[in-house]
Structure 1
């Protein structure tokens, strides 16, 4: 059954069951990955005692996510997506099992940890476009925005609780954390292997520059998709004030590590609560205006945080920042998936992932560079004003996005 057709009660129930299995699998692997990230950082620093090596962890994760995105998107549109996800999760599980085994046997070193994390990151790079492209086939079209919100709530919960759980288990040693993460990945792998997923037979095409960059061409031709992705890119690029939280906590708000922990958690809690609300409420009208308003709200929240001198106001601003960001993320994710034909979803998702990963990394770099010139407050103020300027400019450049009423458009007009 096409997800765009009106489902009868039996088909709808099957769709919900399939999505529930998918959601449980993603939740388990997300918790496992967050726990893994905490343990790897602690273990690497315990082995070497060098801050530089902590940067290497980010490096071995960043390069595969960007360099392999386009080939991974091509594969997602050429082969069975469920099988690609399953192979990726099996590779990740094997790498984590090796980490656990070598750690428990005291046979691990820095190079071994980095090599295995590189293997996990490479598998995730191939898995990601297929994973994102599966959702529209698991739920009816009208429920896709809610499904995206439920997905986001699981990711936010994993980001909040996963590191804390990993830190608690680390008391018993990194091997225990890796073993727990491997168990969660095993649960995810089993659920994906049993997932009922129907995909139209893909039209096989050889991997050429044209097919690899087909997602880029598609986004350029679809003004609404280009507008929503590029606006998010520049908003995140300019509004990366959270990278400066240690400076704000110590020098401006005059709080200690506990205050820094609250500041780091506030955006995630705002995003989590907003995702839970969006999972229960549909956005039926004025989605374009809501998108622009949420990004503008993100900019205003950044400005309030930049100028705040008291902890409670800074926490409130970061909470609002996370909530506004979640609204724009759900709209962007749903709109991109619904405006993209199934045969192109893997490649478009890959390009979208490049935008997101690049903006997150470069946004932190931009905030640090501007802070070196203007100070932390100046950097955050520039970011907030820049975000508002982007919203104003994009209102003029993408009028159809501003006037857009619904996330899903009829095929004749999409």
Structure 2
């Protein structure tokens, strides 16, 4: 019997007090993070003696910003799965607020404040490394398991919008009031996130909950998140496919400006509109895919989005005009938005409740590490092949890999369904 694609409406979700508070608070904090990042990058670029040294300074900053998420992932996941979510979310938000406030003070009272900015970036990222898996694991508690896919899709769309607003706001604040002004505004965003965490009534504290019913929670081990992925073959393959898309899609980001500006002669305004077009597609794709109720269809949409996105990356390198590039960018945004939403839902719902913080933290660390590697890959492709051929090659390789993974996943699913059917027949 064929299963029809079923979707849910968002009426109940937007009447959920805790979800609305979490969405608003995380939106403001993400805007603040984008403002901090772009402010520091613009400052590094403008203060460099030449473009080459400026590029290296920005690259070093991005590497420094990535290290806490990658290195702290095992411990951050353990905290999320053992400690009280309210205490963790509030404490991590306050830590981030203090770090950004100290950035503002360092620019006002230190002559050479660059070392302080880099050190405080590590502190800021450490707070975010703890906060992210905490919020991610708390979300199913806030909305319920049935509404988790829709809530994750909507939250991702919200954070994507914040990711668009943050850099623009950071550039504006930097131009209007300087470094300190931009940092103070971002610190206020993190303070509001801390207030939001305190106001949320839903809590997740697995150790306390186990003790309340007379059970003793087994202490999680380091890298339990990776072990959990290894136990679920399907989920492991899904994560691998997602990381492939991240690697090549992020690498293409390096080449996109050269394809649009040099190959297709886009103006600065047109290039900005191209990025906005893809971002709108990302938001719409996340909102739509988050409404899928069936895991079978969720997996199908994930595989279709991954394969379709890879194909579009290759075709974008062959775009004959700017109009076609806009069309393909919009469709690509829809595909990656749907991929993000379905991936997040599969990850959460196929992970045991007491392991969600650890799995979420490990996957986030892997994604950040792959993203940094993608920057180097994009630069290498651009220097060796040029923008067009770099797009075509990246998309083609990704397409072949995604097709292969799709075949493996679908065969595995059919085998599992066949086993389940035989067991059901034996029971009857």
The verdict on a shared fold, with TM-score over 0.5 as the criterion, is yes
Root mean square deviation of aligned Cα = 2.7
Q: Would the alpha carbon gap of residues 401 and 256 (structure 1) be closer, same or farther in structure 2, given more than 3 Å must change? A: farther
Q: CA deviation at 1:102?
A: 3.1
Is 2:185 the counterpart of 1:174?
Answer: no
**Per-residue CA shift, 1:301-341, capped at 9, x if unaligned?**
11221111311211221221121011111111111111111
| Partner residue, 1:198 | 203
Task: Out of 21-30 and 382-391, give the one that drifted further.
Answer: 382-391
| Partner residue, 1:227 | 237
Q: CA deviation at 1:401?
A: 6.6
| Partner residue, 1:6 | none
Aligned with residue 336 of structure 1, among 337, 341, 347 = 347
**Per-residue CA shift, 1:233-266, capped at 9, x if unaligned?**
1122234312212221332112233333233333
Q: In 2, are the aligned partners of 1:60 and 1:121 still within 8 Å (CA)?
A: no
* TM-score, reference length from structure 1: 0.88
| Partner residue, 1:90 | 94
Q: Would the alpha carbon gap of residues 362 and 188 (structure 1) be closer, same or farther in structure 2, given more than 3 Å must change? A: same
* TM-score, reference length from structure 2: 0.85
Alpha-carbon distance in structure 2 between the residues aligned to 1:142 and 1:117:
37
Is 2:270 the counterpart of 1:259?
Answer: yes
SS in 1 for 2:16: helix
Task: Out of 95-104 and 328-337, give the one that drifted further.
Answer: 95-104
Q: In 2, are the aligned partners of 1:38 and 1:167 still within 8 Å (CA)?
A: yes
| Partner residue, 1:287 | 298
Alpha-carbon distance in structure 1 between the residues aligned to 2:106 and 2:384:
45
Q: Would the alpha carbon gap of residues 82 and 362 (structure 1) be closer, same or farther in structure 2, given more than 3 Å must change? A: same
**After the TM superposition, which residues 348-363 of structure 1 pair with which residues of structure 2 at under 5 Å, given as runs?**
348-363=359-374
Task: Out of 347-356 and 254-263, give the one that drifted further.
Answer: 254-263
Task: Out of 393-402 and 21-30, give the one that drifted further.
Answer: 393-402
Number of corresponding residues: 394
| Partner residue, 1:188 | 193
Q: In 2, are the aligned partners of 1:288 and 1:403 still within 8 Å (CA)?
A: no
**After the TM superposition, which residues 330-409 of structure 1 pair with which residues of structure 2 at under 5 Å, given as runs?**
330-399=341-410
Q: In 1, are the aligned partners of 2:82 and 2:205 still within 8 Å (CA)?
A: no
Structure 2 residues not aligned, in runs of 5+: 1-11, 208-215
Q: In 1, are the aligned partners of 2:90 and 2:197 still within 8 Å (CA)?
A: yes
Q: In 2, are the aligned partners of 1:15 and 1:140 still within 8 Å (CA)?
A: no
Q: CA deviation at 1:107?
A: 5.1
SS in 1 for 2:124: helix
Task: Out of 362-371 and 140-149, give the one that drifted further.
Answer: 362-371
